Structure 1
Amino acid sequence: MTRTCTTTSMRARASPRTRVLSNARREATTRGINRRSVLQPRQQGWRVARGALGDDATHAKRPASAVIVGGGPTGLATAIALARRGWTNVEVWERLQKPAPSADTSVWGDAKRSYNVGLSGRGQSVLKDLDLFDEVIDKCAVVKGRMDWGPDGEPKERLANKTYDTQVIQRDRLVSVLVEAIEKKYSDKVSIMYNVAAVDCEFTEEGVKLERGPCDDTCDLAAAVSVGTTTSPVVFGAEGNSMRSAVVREMDENKSCRTKIVKFPNKNARVYKTIPLYLPSHMRKDLNYSARKGGVALECLPTKEGVLVGIMLVKPDDEETCTKLSSKDSLKQFFQQEFPMFVDYIRDEDIEDMAKSKFFGLPSFGYVEKSLNMGGQAVLLGDSIHTVKPYFGLGVNSAWEDVRILIDSLDKADGDTNVAFPEYTKKRVADAKALVTLSRSFDGGFLTFVLPLIVDSIFNKIAPWLFMPNTIQMLQKEEWSFSDIKKRKWLDRVMQGAVIASLATTLARAVFQLLRQFLFPFIVRTLARGGA
């Protein structure tokens, strides 16, 4: 790549803070929202799906076969959930090669093998429903908090206060665990085809016609060569992080389908390289180590084997830094000057490998709106419907929630996709948009990201019964849907605005009274003496 890398009597005694909060409460009430609805998520919709994956009810109206396009965490979780409900002849098409065995420490001890993904409470609950929690957690490392180095170079440890521990695992290793579960329990119902992509898609009366061919993550689908055709009654589009899937493309272009892709320009682009870090025995290995210098960030997450996977993020148009990261000597000097706190934990051979490696890009934001299905023939889920940057562990966790809600819809329809797929769209399409909208706010600067977090923290500390925690913390609350979080944070902004406006009005009145009582008479007396 190019390196351009309340009552009258009470009010009389109330403090200004109490009056201000009362104003905020009245502001919420005038908008038709009472205190109970303000503080709690809806008790319907997506929450009904909680636990649905744990059922093994057989779908009597299931189709004879199905193709799942995409063999990542989303596609494989979908395949497992369908197999548990009696679906057979399920093919999973995966562009990449089959991953190494999940227990092979010689492979997964290599921090360059795959980037880490975080499993929050949302994702962990899905794993429990699929009876895969123990298998996955056995290959994970626990993250209990962060160790951040600020501009002054001093580290600060912050432990998370959550009801669960975040688990991190290499993305490809997670895939390996899911593959092994299919091979062990569902090999008679699910088959996985590697090095196979859906290079074209067409909806016909006979079913969904898919052209298959070799095409890895870097190839152009438009230029890919078809080596065969498969017609399936049902297709699940679960290709992650693409927004260029043949299934998504056909649904977007097909006039009889309401599906529309919304893409956003990458205004805060970042590229990255990875490097392993080896911490000494006395240092905690259950923290996310992080440091920032200028426009460069280094984020390090642990692996099961104890090695940290370091990801260095840089702006692609920062030509000077990109050049430094591409030479062993200059990269070593860069670490010594900018990130000296990590120098003792990095090996020379790894610096050389990092310098030689290519830059990888982060995805741009995008989502699918209006419809997530094409009748009963096709349905989309995962990153295909909500692509976000992997900053706060929203990708795989939100994708698995898609699976849960889709399976819940299929359960209620007894496997009838003509009924279930439109119902899934109703339940999930607003969440797909809300997730991307909320995530985009994290990708800005001080005004759109840092300041709202500070304001939220202040108001939540003053009145936790009225104001919710910041958006990042809210996204970790699995009992809240993304669309509910978006609405709730909008309400917080309204009430915060009311509080700030009330404070400003109170302050202005106080200043005016001071001026009226002291300054104005002083000016009048001064003018009078001058006239005399």
Structure 2
Amino acid sequence: MTRTCTTTSMRARASPRTRVLSNARREATTRGINRRSVLQPRQQGWRVARGALGDDATHAKRPASAVIVGGGPTGLATAIALARRGWTNVEVWERLQKPAPSADTSVWGDAKRSYNVGLSGRGQSVLKDLDLFDEVIDKCAVVKGRMDWGPDGEPKERLANKTYDTQVIQRDRLVSVLVEAIEKKYSDKVSIMYNVAAVDCEFTEEGVKLERGPCDDTCDLAAAVSVGTTTTPVVFGAEGNTMRSAVVREMDENKSCRTKIVKFPNKNARVYKTIPLYLPSHMRKDLNYSARKGGVALECLPTKEGVLVGIMLVKPDDEETCTKLSSKDSLKQFFQQEFPMFVDYIRDEDIEDMAKSKFFGLPSFGYVEKSLNMGGQAVLLGDSIHTVKPYFGLGVNSAWEDVRILIDSLDKADGDTNVAFPEYTKKRVADAKALVTLSRSFDGGFLTFVLPLIVDSIFNKIAPWLFMPNTIQMLQKEEWSFSDIEKRKWLDRVMQGAVIASLATTLARAVFQLSRQFLFPFIVRTLARGGA
């Protein structure tokens, strides 16, 4: 029985609680939210044609060349998809150096190499469409749940109940796999330029004029110096979560472009350091090990080689803790006092390396609104349009969904960017905003994060045919778009509020009736006797 059928039958019974829920649904409809769209996911074209991204169709109206600014997972996936459709002369500009070979265990066995990313069902489906699933999964570690130590120090194992297993891989290693795929299959169509950044961008009648300059992981894009100019018909802006790239900046400042950057202040800032952990053979290697103590969190994810990458998150204004994490002796003592459950799995030399290493910061929330394109000349995707903190595996997975939707739009337009880019904006701009809005709600305290999860769990357990799971679980449902999830959770809040208000009103009436029947007469009799 579908939810709509259940809803209809429940309305026929017309119990008081049902009338409240029905009124809540009607209120949602009158506010402009289609009831069907929030009760069920939209069957968007790109979701129905799941295999479209894997097609090798040739775009007859493709431009003569293109530049992709950003050689991370998003930019490289875009390059591969374009090459499969006959695009040639595609340049990828990447400001970092070329990653090590993905099979080099001497490099990737080092947990200090880079942080891990989790590939959910959303991301894995894109890999299958691009015929890259086996190559990537071969370098991944599977994660089936969590082993979590709460503030009380007691561990709790929780296995995930999902239709897929989360696959975990170092971010740089994932890039290496994609680079190798391009070099093996598409080197005649795609070229990757390393240590190169777009330092300036200008839209002209002849095309997009890009200034390029040398760069690395420490350079300031705003201060980088141009060493050459490239003019291309089309540019794809996929330069990570900086939201400071020349393409994004020019689109935001250009009066003929509707693109606007929305940035949020980082009210819950965190910085981190990494450390490897070596679990004994009897412990599970397919779990996310996690512990929290005194405002500090330690999150550990496995690698293909079995070593865990531990990320210690701390508030940057916690000077006392930051100082402890910067000295070998005080750091070792800190682990013994705050995270004793991990002490036996950490080597002294790694503690010394961690103490010497610098702190890295997490990005602030931000998104691009109104338009993701500049006519048919430029388009934005990935973290450039929706920057979130990497808490729940939404980064690379949502970015690859951008690629899928963009390529689907190009397929329908036979490669005509003047048609495809505006269509992509229509399909994705609301999702970009919704993803960031939903993610920001996780970054708060008890009222904005923990309490809604508890309320959602209670209502979903009582009436799973009506109330959806909590937002974190909903984000893992790849058949739901982010904007649909946002609307659906809004409807849940309306119905939850209506039910709670109805119960509170019923309870208040019951208390009043009992008081009227028993308490008031008792008070009158007592006063009468006292007066006598």
Higher mean Cα deviation, 11-20 or 379-388?
A: 11-20
Any idea what the Cα deviations from partners look like across 1:391-445, whole Å, max 9, x if unmatched?
0000000000000000000000000001000100010001000000000000000
> Judging changes above 3 Å, is the alpha-carbon distance between structure 1 residues 320 and 189 closer, same or farther for their aligned structure 2 residues?
same
User: 1:4·1:318 contact (CA, 8 Å) conserved in 2?
Assistant: no
Distance across 2 between alignment mates of 1:9 and 1:486: 26
Q: Aligned partners of 2:297 and 2:136: how far apart in 1? A: 29
User: Does the 8 A contact of 2:59 with 2:411 survive in 1?
Assistant: yes
Structure 2 counterpart SS, 1:6: helix
Structure-2 residue corresponding to 1:59:
59
1:4/1:316 contact within 8 Å kept? no
Q: Deviations for 1:35-82, whole angstroms, at most 9, x for unmatched residues?
A: 754431112254245322111110000000000000000000000000
The change in CA–CA distance for 1:378 and 1:24 in structure 2 (over 3 A counts) is closer
Q: Secondary structure of the residue that 1:454 maps to in structure 2?
A: helix
Q: SS at the partner of 2:4?
A: coil
| Counterpart position of 2:527 | 527
- Aligned CA-pair RMSD: 5.7
**Judging changes above 3 Å, is the alpha-carbon distance between structure 1 residues 49 and 93 closer, same or farther for their aligned structure 2 residues?**
farther
Could you tell me which runs of 5 or more consecutive residues in structure 1 were left unpaired when the two chains were aligned: none
Q: 1:213, 1:226 within 8 Å by CA — same for their partners in 2?
A: yes
Contact 1:95–1:197, Cα closer than 8 Å, also in 2? yes
| Cα distance in structure 1, aligned partners of 2:294 and 2:3 | 18
Determine the C-alpha separation between the residues in 1 that align with 2:514 and 2:51: 62
Give the distance between the partners of 2:412 and 2:5, measured in 1 at CA.
49
Q: What is the DSSP-based 3-state SS (H/G/I as helix, E as strand, rest coil) of the residue aligned with 2:80?
A: helix
- Separation in 1, partners of 2:91, 2:275: 36
1:466-497 deviation line (CA, Å, top 9, x unaligned): 10000000000000000000111011100001
Decide whether the 8 Å contact of 2:11 with 2:22 is kept in 1. Answer: no
Which stretches in structure 2 are left out of the alignment for 5+ residues? none
**Structure 1's 409 and 519: CA in aligned 2 closer, same or farther, altered over 3 A?**
same
Native 8 Å contact 1:23 1:499 kept in 2? no
Relative to structure 1, the CA distance from residue 302 to residue 505 in structure 2 (aligned partners, 3 Å threshold; closer, same or farther) is same
Q: Tell me, in whole angstroms, the C-alpha distance in 2 between the residues paired with 1:283 and 1:170.
A: 21
Deviations 1:442-471 (A, max 9, x none): 000000000000000000000011100000
Q: For 2:146 and 2:7, how far apart are their aligned partners in 1? A: 47
Deviations 1:180-214 (A, max 9, x none): 00000000000000011001111111111111111
Structure 1 contact 115–170 (Cα < 8 Å) conserved: yes
Distance change (3 Å), C-alpha of 1:64 and 1:328: same
Give the superposition deviation at 1:304.
0.2
Q: Which residue of 1 aligns with 2:258?
A: 258
1:129 to 1:13, Cα distance in 2 relative to 1, 3 A? closer
> What is the CA-CA distance between 1:266 and the residue it aligns to?
0.3
Q: 1:10 to 1:199 in 2, by over 3 A?
A: closer
Distance 1:84 1:78 in 2: 10
Distance verdict in 2 for CA 1:60–1:15, change over 3 Å: closer
Q: TM-score, normalised by structure 2?
A: 0.96
Distance 1:341 1:356, change over 3 A: same
| Cα distance change on mapping 1:330 and 1:456 into 2, 3 Å | same
**1:150-195 Cα shifts (integer Å, max 9, x gaps):** 1221100000000000000000000000000000000000000001
- Deviation at 1:33? 6.8
Contact 1:373-1:379 within 8 A present in 2 as well: yes
C-alpha displacement of 1:217: 3.2
Report SS of the residue matched to 2:418: helix
Deviation per CA, 1:129-167: give whole Å up to 9, x if none.
Answer: 000000000000000000000122110000000000000
Segment drifting more, 428-437 vs 15-24? 15-24
Q: Give 1:225 deviation, angstroms.
A: 1.0
Residues 30/429 of structure 1: CA separation in 2 closer, same or farther (3 Å cut): closer
Shift of 1:221: 1.9
Q: Structure 1 residues 46 and 444, CA, compared in 2 at 3 Å: closer, same or farther?
A: farther
C-alpha separation in 2, matches of 1:11 and 1:362: 48
C-alpha separation in 1, matches of 2:7 and 2:140: 56
TM-aligned CA deviation for residue 27 of structure 1: 5.2
Residue 330 (1) aligns with residue 330 (2)? yes
After superposition, give the CA deviation of every residue in 1:343-369 in whole Å (9 maximum; x if it has no partner): 000000000000000000000000001
Contact preservation (8 Å) 1:121, 1:476: yes
- Can you list the C-alpha shifts for 1:111-140, whole angstroms capped at 9, x where unaligned? 000100000000000000000000000000
Partner residue, 2:202: 202
CA 1:368–1:42: 2 relative to 1, 3 Å: same
Name the residue aligned to 2:393: 393
1:518 CA displacement: 1.0
Q: 1:7 offset after TM fit, Å?
A: 14
Larger displacement relative to structure 2 (399-408 or 49-58): 49-58
Change (3 A) 1:260 1:488: same
1:461 corresponds to 2:464? no
Residues 1:499 and 1:86: Cα distance change in structure 2 (over 3 Å): same
What is the alpha-carbon distance in structure 1 between the residues aligned to residue 112 and residue 290 of structure 2?
18
* Residues 202/38 of structure 1: CA separation in 2 closer, same or farther (3 Å cut): closer
Structure 2 vs 1, CA of residues 321 and 6 (structure 1 numbering), >3 Å: closer, same or farther? Answer: closer
Could you tell me how far 1:218 is from its partner in structure 2? 2.6
Q: Which moved more, 1:31-40 or 1:142-151?
A: 31-40
Quote how far apart the aligned CAs of 1:222 are: 2.4
Check whether the contact 2:199–2:222 (CA below 8 A) recurs between aligned residues. yes
Q: 1:24 to 1:372 in 2, by over 3 A?
A: closer
| Alpha carbons 2:3, 2:465 under 8 Å: kept | no
3-state SS, counterpart of residue 7 of structure 1 = helix
TM-score by length of 1: 0.96
Q: 1:11 to 1:200 in 2, by over 3 A?
A: closer
Deviation at 1:4, TM superposition (A): 53
Q: For the residues of structure 1 that align with 2:313 and 2:245, how far apart are their CA atoms?
A: 27
1:342 partner SS: helix
CA distance, structure 1, for counterparts of residue 370 and residue 21 of structure 2: 38
Contact 1:260 1:369 in 2 (8 A): yes
8 Å CA contact retained: 1:49, 1:404: no
Cα distance change on mapping 1:84 and 1:505 into 2, 3 Å: same
Cα pair 1:275 1:351 within 8 Å, conserved: yes
Tell me, in whole angstroms, the C-alpha distance in 2 between the residues paired with 1:13 and 1:89.
65
